[in-house]
Structure 1
Amino acid sequence: MTGKTVNSAILLLIIGNAIALVSDVLIKLLGSDTPVFQFAFIRCAITLLLLLPLWKQINHARLFEGAAVHFFRAHAHLAGIACMVIALGSLPLATANAIFYVAPILVMLLSVFIFRESLTRLSLLAVFCGFAGIVVILRPVEFNWAAIMALGSAASLAINAVMVRMLPKQQSTVHTLFLTYLMVLPASFLLMLYEGAPWNPLIMKTAIGSAVLILAYNVTVILAYRQVAANQVTSAEYTGLIWAVAIGWLWFDEVPDLWFVLGSCMIVIPLILISLKQRRLSRAESHFVTMSDLPDSSQ
């Protein structure tokens, strides 16, 4: 693995996270009174339409294999979209994104309970520091409904990430995405009807923009992780928080305070340390394998 390849993957992730932040900005501009399920239904429907040209990458003979897992993930995703829209509409952009980064910590905890994995000391540090970081950012006096929604969005991301391991191994990424958005349409449509909000053309434009941007983000992630091992570049994902601070400051006049900086560091730094440790271990294993392939000069 060359340094140039790793740098290329890191650049893709940095660009991808910037693209995802633009989607967050579009949603935030809708305001706090956005019809949540109208937005969710439109975005899911648009995403499904965007995936249709990739129909050939889907295994038609086993289209609904693993349907139960797909169904649960799809509706967890729907809950996550709803929570995200509420959180972005009410919280500062950077604060909402800082809480979203609790997702990797929740993945660790869920893996312990579901797959009986054990946590290293560094992982335990990340868990404790992450939740303490949330308390520092929000502080008890500012812990409101929007903050709970941001945590709900992080939980949705974590559930979806953990349940990927339960999906059929042979299914492509397009197949997984297609089933997710196909299965979520009925529930999102019914919830939109129950919501009963008048049709808003601005939501249509925002949902289309958000769907395209999130798909573009997914493409950059897939391209990046196809080039290198995930643990070598995962830390680049956290540049999204830098984008959130910069855009929030310049666009929405949201100046981060000392509590936000301290809390964000408590959440992100342990996760970066874990990523860097995994990267070192991966390099060491690669070096060991390379050395073991050399001919034995004693023969």
Structure 2
Amino acid sequence: MVYKLDRNIPAMFLLVCGNAVAMISDVFIKEFAHQVSVPQFVLLRTLITIVFLLPFLKLSHSDGLMTGWKVLLLRAQVSVFGIICMVVSLKYLSLASANAVFYTAPIMVSLMAAIFYREKLTPVSVTSVFLGFIGVLLILRPTSVELASLSALGVAVSQAVAIVLVKKLPKEKSPIESLFVMHLFMVPALLLLSLFVWQQITLGALVGALGSSIFIVCYNLAVLFAYRMAEANKIASSEYTGMLWAILAGWLFFSEVPDLWVLLGSGLIICPLVWLAYIDRSTKKAIELKQLHGVAGD
């Protein structure tokens, strides 16, 4: 038991730090993305990410770089939509508001899994969906259909679809190779979109794309190593510290102070997710104990 605890603590620390650097990526987007068209910014970020991932390909071991390419191609197009939505939402919403809406992705995953994989929806998961929806309404308080609000929801939907599609990838597929190939498949669509809204690329746009790319790669690597060190159900709740980082970064860099509605809505979104993670962990622990007693009884 002590051994498992020792592995969980550094894994959770990695996730906390990973979410911190992911928030720095958001800061770069919010600060510099407006200096060029959105598709161009995402294209620059994607190309830089590909370059950064190249050295890590040597660390991966799988049957082939293009294994599962059809799923990765689909995920790439979903990611193009999602990242463009992310840039738009971060430009117009506060970091706390945008990230709180992003956190509805796990709620959408449970709905999509029930629809496409016929996974059972429990009363707890249904409650989390309902509370998450109320939380989004409290944060955005929509009086009309606004691009920023729709974009934030678009990010959550695209993240949920991307997560659901992971189940279609071969189990032996290296996460680093998946990231690399997916970003390669994103380039053609981004190039095409950029041609229609081409603007002169500024130094600020390059700095923003570079900073965002570096920190989001660091986040992905932190997540990769953390979930390899420990069981996902025991450390996943550490990811929700990202909301605290969003509030802190918004205050430090953009003088954003979240109001009561944002804090309340964030709580309605994140608390049920932590509740779900706790129940999932308790259920798995009960199954393990039952199996252990069964073996002991034999």
C-alpha contact (below 8 Å) 2:25/2:215 kept by paired residues:
yes
Q: Equivalent residue for 2:95?
A: 93
Q: Partner of 2:269 in structure 1?
A: 267
Is it true that 1:152 corresponds to 2:154 in the alignment? yes
Matching residue of 2:104: 102
For 1:33 and 1:200, the matched residues in 2 are separated by 7
Q: CA deviation at 1:64?
A: 2.6
Residue identity matched to 1:161: I
Question: Structure 1 residues 244 and 235, CA, compared in 2 at 3 Å: closer, same or farther?
Answer: same
Please list the CA deviations of residues 192-231 of structure 1 after superposition, one character each: whole Å capped at 9, or x if unmatched. 1211111122111211111111111111111111122111
Between 54-63 and 170-179, the greater mean CA deviation after superposition: 54-63
Identity across the alignment (%): 41
Q: 1:213 to 1:137 in 2, by over 3 A?
A: same
Consecutive unaligned residues in structure 1, runs of 5 or more: none
Instruction: Indicate conservation of the 8 Å contact 2:35/2:202, yes or no.
Output: no
Determine the C-alpha separation between the residues in 2 that align with 1:208 and 1:32: 15
AA aligned opposite 2:87: V
User: What does residue 228 of structure 2 align with?
Assistant: 226
Q: Residue 241 of structure 2 aligns to a residue in which SS?
A: helix
Question: What is the CA-CA distance between 1:164 and the residue it aligns to?
Answer: 0.2
From 194, 197, 218, the counterpart of 2:196: 194
State the SS of the aligned residue for 1:166.
coil
State whether structure 2 residue 68 is matched by structure 1 residue 66.
yes
- 1:10/1:58 CA distance change after superposition, 3 Å: closer
| Cα distance between partner residues in 2 of 1:118 and 1:291 | 27
Cα distance, 1:142–1:97 mapped onto 2, change above 3 Å:
farther
Aligned twin of 2:44 = 42
CA drift of 1:96 comes to 0.4
Q: Which deviates more from structure 2 when the two are superposed, residues 112-121 or residues 286-295?
A: 286-295
Conservation of the 8 A alpha-carbon contact between 2:36 and 2:202: no
Contact 1:30–1:89 (CA under 8 A) maintained in structure 2 = no
Deviation at 1:12, TM superposition (A): 1.0
Which SS does the other structure have where 2:167 is aligned? helix
Q: Deviations over 1:87-139 (max 9, x none)?
A: 00110110000010011011111111111111100000010110111011111
Following superposition of structure 1 onto structure 2, how do residues 9-158 of structure 1 map, counting pairs within 5 Å? 9-30=11-32, 32=34, 34-57=36-59, 62-141=64-143, 144-158=146-160
State which of 243, 247, 250 in structure 2 corresponds to 1:248: 250
Rounded to whole Å, the distance in 2 between the matches of 1:286 and 1:104 is: 25
Query: Cα 1:247–1:149, aligned 2, differ >3 Å: closer, same or farther?
Result: same
Preserved CA contact (<8 Å) 1:107 1:162 = yes
**Offset from partner CA, 1:214-261 (integer Å, 9 cap, x none):** 111111111111122111111111110011111212321211111111
Distance 1:127 1:133 in 2: 10
Instruction: Give, in whole Å, the separation in 2 of the partners of 1:295 and 1:136.
Output: 53
**C-alpha distance in 2, partners of 1:238/1:142?**
29
Corresponding residue pairs, total: 296
TM-score w.r.t. length of structure 1? 0.93
The match for 1:176 is 178
Gaps of 5+ in 2: none
Q: Give the whole-Å Cα distance in 1 for the aligned partners of 2:225 and 2:244.
A: 22
Checking the alignment, whether the CA contact within 8 Å between 1:32 and 1:86 is kept in structure 2 is: no
Distance 1:53 1:182 in 2: 15
